Amino acid sequence: MSKNRDVTHLTDISKGLAEADGSFKRKPSTFRRIIEKGGGFEPERGRYHLYVSYSCPWATRTLIVRKLKGLEDIIAITAVSPRLGEHGWPFANADPFPGAEIDPLYGSKYIKDLYLRADPDYEGRFTVPVLWDKKRETIVNNESSDIIRIFNTAFNGLLPGDKAAIDLYPAAHRTEIDEINEWVYDTVNNGVYKAGFATAQNAYEEAVIPLFQSLDRLEKLLTGKDFLVGNQLTEADVRLFVTIIRFDPVYFSHFKCNLRTIRDGYPAIHLWLRKLYWNDPAFSSTCRFDHIKTGYYWQKNLNPHRIVPVGPVPDIVSL
């Protein structure tokens, strides 16, 4: 098959993401390879490139961990435009949105071009993040949960001691982290999407009610605490943060997750969120509210006129 074939049935989300019963079921990621010494993908400075969207919570996970671990000089990044359209995520040469960039490796117009370069017969979704290997000219991994763990350990041998010592998935807390990740992913990270992309009332309610039950549970977990697990920053905080930072600006209205806002309904979660954002540049510098709001409200299947709300004001409340 040609890498120029028509794949709009995979890139154009306006054609629908829901199942026949009206529910949204996320498709699994396809590229799940790892970077490790002695493997097919060795940890090397400058070998890998990370493609992201600041709009996308899954991609922003990887940006946060890249910053926390001090990998900026080891793994370069390119950000796409948040205006996801018929052909998927566009680079700046296809849509010059402020902050979007041109693909420095191939001059691609869309993220899909990278997928089809790696596999001309690819039939999955053309998602971000994409961790690209410049040496083998292929995608290493497109699953954010894998990439943040790759970033956590794979490049420690190339990092100064203080950055190598940062461990977001410490052995002593892995069981608890995995348990929290499981229900937070299902009901919160992905729960907002299951509510927002539902096309039947019962499917929507079956997603939005567990979402708020889990937020209630998180409120109790975070009361009097700065972190979810073990009194230290872990990947569980990173994975939750990217959803909560988008909640009031986007999910409350756009995805109809409107029982309560974070700022007015969940004081402990709200304080945890603001401490991470205002006290750690890894969280604030990777958060672009213009990309976040434009990216979601550009979804014609949910917002046919693509009107982007001006609120809430402020995007995030100060400490």
Q: What positions carry a catalytic annotation? A: 56
Contact 67, 82 (CB under 8 A): no
Contacts from 135-140 at CB under 8 Å and sequence distance 24+? 135/44, 135/47, 136/40, 136/41, 139/31, 139/114, 139/115, 140/31, 140/33, 140/34, 140/35, 140/41, 140/48
Buried b (16+ CB within 10 A) or exposed e, 213-239: ebbeebbebbeeeebbbeeebbbbbbb
CA 73-158-145 angle, to 5 degrees, is: 75
Separation between Cα atoms, residue 222 and residue 256, nearest integer Å: 24
Amino acid type, 297: Y
Phi, psi of 49 (to 5 degrees): -130, 135
Separation between Cα atoms, residue 177 and residue 182, nearest integer Å: 9
Token code pair at residue 289: 């509210």
Taking Cα atoms as reference points, which of 217, 246, 227 lies closest to residue 61?
A: 246
Reading phi first (left if > 0) and then psi (alpha if -120 to 50, else beta), residue 231 is in left
DSSP string over 43-68? --TTSEEEEE-TT-HHHHHHHHHHHH
